[in-house]
Amino acid sequence: MTKGGMESVEVFTSEGKGRGLKAQKEFLPGDVIFAEPAYAAVVFDSLTHVICHTCFKRQERLHRCGQCKFAYYCDRTCQRAAWLNHKNECSAIKRHGKAPTENIRLAARIMWKMEREGSGLSEGCLVSIDDLQNHVENFGEEEKKDLRVDVESFLEFWPPQSQQFGMQYISHIFGVINCNAFTLSDQRGLQAVGVGIFPNLCQANHDCWPNCTVIFNNGNHEAVRSMFHTQMRIELRALSKISPGDELTVSYVDFLNVSEERRRQLKKQYYFDCTCEHCKKQIKDDLMLAVKEGDHKPSAETVKEVIQFSKDTLEKINKARLEGVYHEVVKLCRDCLKKQEPVLGDTNLYLLRILSIASEVLSYLQMFEEAADYAKRMVDGYMKIYHPNNAQLGMAVMRAGVTHWHAGLIEAGHGMICKAYAILLITHGPSHPITKDLEVMRVQTEMELRMFQQNEFMYYKMREAALKNQKIEVMPEPSNETAPSLFHKKE
């Protein structure tokens, strides 16, 4: 079965996993297997005034919808593009008196689209919304309670003149959102800003070591001529060579967890038992649980104590980050590293987590030399654990490269930026804003490296003068969120 723009993939029944997608032709790393616009998408409640409701880009100044005073857009182009999907929402918000939560808004947008187009197959879709899994029968008591609240709120918001849907069908839509909604990020890919439904993507099954990755592309509405405009979409991209007939898989969770923990997350959030090779054989678990080897190998009791101390410290760090007390975060990290270093191996999960937080927060505080040391150790550990073409690895190496550049460590910084660029060319593609930013950095650090190699003294003199004249580019404030995960789960 193939559909517009989807000729290279086929839906099939995967043994023990329900439906899946398989390749109809060969793909090489970095190839776009398919791009898919959102069936429906909304901005998170907390960000509705700072993110464009059409392309999900973060902008300084946005235009507000004059009617409902709720929706915001980059410009008239984005506002016009949104009208078909916003029209019903706009009048419903005015009638209701305020905008409902993101879940209600997303369900309403899905149903208004069905009202316009019917509930069958939409153009370019391999499956209809009716055919998507809802897993309502697997809901626990808490989830059932949340579902009832959502359905009641939806019925209050849904206009009487719109097509009326039965309670069971409304529950189906909320079930679909609960286990199929995809996280949308801003144009820098650093913050989750919204949530959308992409029916074709929903057909890709999970594997902890997948052959594909999903990247959100905000599109380009800024081109002067509209023929160069591109719409917001997700792209399914190949991470490794894929042959015709191979199943296409993506990872629903971050690989940086031992197999038992990943399986627990997948069961809780997506209601299935992972049977991938990496989980069955517990591949890389030994690296993530590594302890110091050699003459002074720590006892099992000491390892247990240090792991518990690390868990307690991570909780304290989260609290300090939420309060914005970053110097306290640094102190907690340093104390924890002192305890970890004699006991845990270089690839141990808990050591890597502390190194990641320490390097990010120290960079924000402009303590770049110490940050660079931690970032280097973090990247060395990540390289041994992650798939070589993992998007999160690419982003981490990029941040480490920028930190090294700020610390004046131009050779190491340039090397990391080149490495990150090679990964992101595959995971994000050359036209993605993040890759373009990285290309600019790569050219700049290459030029600086040449200057450094020709005359080290002059390089530092010029760098000092340049940094005095221009405000140093401060690293973004550390986020309390982890990197956006693939699928959105309501907390």
- What is the tally of helices (H) and strands (E) in the chain? 15, 12
- 40: enclosing H helix or E strand: strand 40-43
Q: What is the pLDDT of residue 357?
A: 96
Which tokens sit at 191? Answer: 């913050």
Question: Sign of the C-alpha dihedral, residues 230, 232, 236, 238?
Answer: positive
Which tokens sit at 207? Answer: 């594997």
Q: What is the pLDDT of residue 224?
A: 45
Q: What is the pLDDT of residue 474?
A: 44
**Which residues are bridge partners to 195 per DSSP?**
42, 183
Query: On the CB side of 295, how many CA atoms lie within 13 Å of its CA?
Result: 0
**Contacts of the segment 348-353: beta carbons below 8 A, 24+ positions apart:** 348/288, 348/289, 348/290, 348/291, 348/381, 349/256, 349/257, 349/258, 349/288, 349/289, 350/306, 350/307, 350/310, 350/311, 350/314, 351/310, 351/381, 352/256, 352/378, 352/381, 352/382, 352/385, 353/310, 353/314
Distance CA 408, CA 406 (A): 5
Q: What is the pLDDT of residue 459?
A: 79
Q: In what order do the strands lie in the sheet with 205-206?
A: 9-14, 18-23, 247-250, 205-206
Say whether 81 sits in a helix, a strand or coil: helix
**Neighbouring C-beta atoms of residue 213, cutoff 10 Å:** 22
Which is nearest to 102 in space by CA: 164, 46, 165, 63? 46
Q: How far is CA 391 from the centre of its chain?
A: 9
Q: What is the pLDDT of residue 4?
A: 38
Q: Please, are residues 39 and 233 in contact by the beta-carbon 8 Å criterion?
A: no
Q: Show the low-confidence residues of the chain (pLDDT under 50).
A: 1-4, 223-228, 471-474, 491
Q: How far is CA 260 from the centre of its chain?
A: 22
Say whether 453 sits in a helix, a strand or coil: helix
